[in-house]
Every structure is written in C-alpha cells, then in structure tokens.
Structure 1
C-alpha cells in the first residue's frame, strides 16, 4: 500500500486537525463536521495530483484556453455514519462522482473487548474500471476498511482504489497494508501511535460519529 501521510509536512491542515482533537472545541458538533469536511477537501486536492489528466479546450469570451482536466470515473464510498462529513468534503471537489454507502460497525462482545465488523446495508454503483475512494475518518484497527473493500468486490474491479482517512493508528495502517495490494493508496491527515484496549486511537479524538451526530444507544 502506498501511504501519503499529510502530517509529515506542516500546512493549514494542522489548524483543522488541532480543532477536531480539542475536547473543548469539538463540543460544537457543527464546527466538528465542517472541519472534517474541510480536511476531506484538502485530502481530495492532494489525491487529485495522481489522477489521469488530459488536455481539454475551453472557450472563453476572448478565445480558446487549454486546460488539463482529470478523466477518472470516480465513486466515493463512505462508511456510515462517521464518514458522512468526510464524504461531503470529497464530493465538494469531485462533484461529478458517483456515490456508495455502507454500514460497517463494531459489534462488541458483552464480556471482553473483542468485536466483529457487521455490515447490514450497502448501496453501490458499478465499480468496474472506475476510481474508488473509500472514506472513513478513523482508521483504528483497520478491520472496517478491510471489510468494506471485501464487501465491494461483487460490484466490479476498480481501475484504482484510494482509502481516505483523517486519523489512523500505526497498527491499523499496518493491518490494512498487510491485507491489500501494493497499488492501493492511503491518503491520511495523521497517523497516531497507539490503540487502547477498546480499539480506539490514542491520542485520537474520541468517537467521530458521536462528535458529528450525537451519542448513539449501544446494542
């Protein structure tokens, strides 16, 4: 897997990352969602640099301009529900993209901290020969991303696949790397050191879905 860790170069992205991590600022759920969206826009811009471009003529009021435009057929697949603000950021830039959505959630064991990934809903267009972007803001253990990639296989073979995350854990990134092909790209804003016993990223930011949309009842 080819890893693009944007935190290796300081940029404006650092401001948004600091705000989504700050336990006081993140109490404003609207601001949290918007910051995730803006991080998605930055990740989309960086990703766009490796897409396929071809020259196109554009008629202006005064003449003809030649622009290089991307020619990829893009499908954005987001993991519900936490992936929705990140999805919006990507869609702001890839505004002609098709869209897919999947519910991949952790079902925890009542006794231990073990869990399995349960998929109950999936809607997806044809992926054959297209550019697939899989969006999940938190790449913790990596199991949700891998389960999603496996669940999408019946919909066709993408020409290329990109994973988009905001924060990942080293172990989770390593897990995905061990499971996927070398030509898959990971675009991520930061990679943190650890996971706790419940599989949450440390220092991370907490539960992205709860921060964006409110606490959920546990099954």
Structure 2
C-alpha cells in the first residue's frame, strides 16, 4: 500500500484539521461539516494527480486548445453516517463519479470495550475495472474500512482502490496496510499514535458522526 500523509506538508489543510479538533470550534456542527468537506476536497485533489488522463481538445469561442482530462471511471463509496460530509467534498471535485453508500457500525456486546462491525445497508453500482474510492473520516482500528471493502466484492473487481480518511490511528493505518491489496492508496490528513481502550483515536477529535449530525442513542 502507498500511504500519503498530507499533514507532512505545510498547507491550509492544517487550518481545517486544527478546527475540527478544537473542542470549542467543533461545537458549531455546520462549521465542522464544512471543514470535513473541505478536507475531502483537498484529499481528492491530491489523489487526482495519480489518475489516468487523456488528451482532448476544447473549443473556445475564439479557437481550440489542448488539455488533459481524467478518463478513470470513479465510484465513490462512503460509510454512513459520518462519511457524508467527506463524500460531499470528494463529489465536489469528481462531478461524474458514480456513488455507493454503506452502513457499517460498531456493535458492542457484553463487554463495552469489544465490538464487531455490522453492515446492514448497501447500495452500489458495478465496480468492475473502475476506480473505487472508500471514504471514512476516522480510521481507528481499520475494521470498518475492511468490512466495507469485503461487502463490495460481489459488485466486481476495481482496477484500483483509494482509501480517504481525515484522521487515523497508526494501528488502523497498519491494519489496512496489511489487509488491503498491495496497489491500494491511502490518502489521509493526519495520523495519531494511539487508540484508547474503546477503540477511539487519541488525541483524535471525538465522534465525527455525532459532531456532524448530533448525538445518537446507543443500542
């Protein structure tokens, strides 16, 4: 796997990361969603540099000019619900992308510190030979990302796979690095060192889904 940690470079991305982490600023759920969306735009832009392009001629009112446009067939899949703002940011840049949505959540059993990933809803187009983008803002253990990838396999084999995350734990990064195909790319805005005993990223930012859309009742 090729890992692209965009935070290793100084850019305006650092401003958006700082704001979604800030416990005061993140109370503004609209700003939180917009910052996740903007991070998705930046990660999508960086990812776009690796796509396949074709040479085309564009006709202007005064003549013609050559340019290069992407020719990859993209399917953008986000994990509900926290992935929606990130999905929107990517879709802002990949206008013609097909879309897939999947629900994957942690189901805690008797021990609140252990869980399994449950997939209940899935809507997906044909993936055969296409570029698959899997978007999930928080890459904690990596199990949700892998469960999503496994659930998508009946829809075809993509030509290439790109994982997009906002913040990840090193443990989660190592997990996907081990369990995804070798030619997978991970695009991530920041990598933190630790997970706590409940599988949350430290320092992280908290629960991205709750911060974006409000707290949920636990089942």
Q: Same fold (TM over 0.5)?
A: yes
Partner of 1:109: 109
**Deviation per CA, 1:173-217, whole angstroms, max 9, x where unpaired?**
101111111100000000000000000000000000000000000
**Deviation per CA, 1:148-173, whole angstroms, max 9, x where unpaired?**
00000000000100000000000011
Hey, what's the Cα distance between the residues in 1 that align with 2:83 and 2:142? Answer: 14
Hey, what's the Cα distance between the residues in 2 that align with 1:63 and 1:144? Answer: 50
1:38-57 correspondence to structure 2 within 5 Å? 38-57=38-57
Q: Which runs of 4+ in 1 moved over 4 A?
A: none
Unaligned runs of 5+ in 1: none
What TM-score, normalized to structure 2?
0.99
SS in 1 for 2:88: helix
What TM-score, normalized to structure 1?
0.99
SS in 1 for 2:64: strand
1:60-139 correspondence to structure 2 within 5 Å? 60-139=60-139
Partner of 1:175: 175
1:178-197 correspondence to structure 2 within 5 Å? 178-197=178-197
**Deviation per CA, 1:71-128, whole angstroms, max 9, x where unpaired?**
0000000000000000000000001100000000000123341000000000000000
Partner of 2:208: 208
Partner of 1:28: 28
What is the root-mean-square deviation in Å for CA atoms of aligned residues? 0.6
- How many residue pairs end up in the alignment? 219
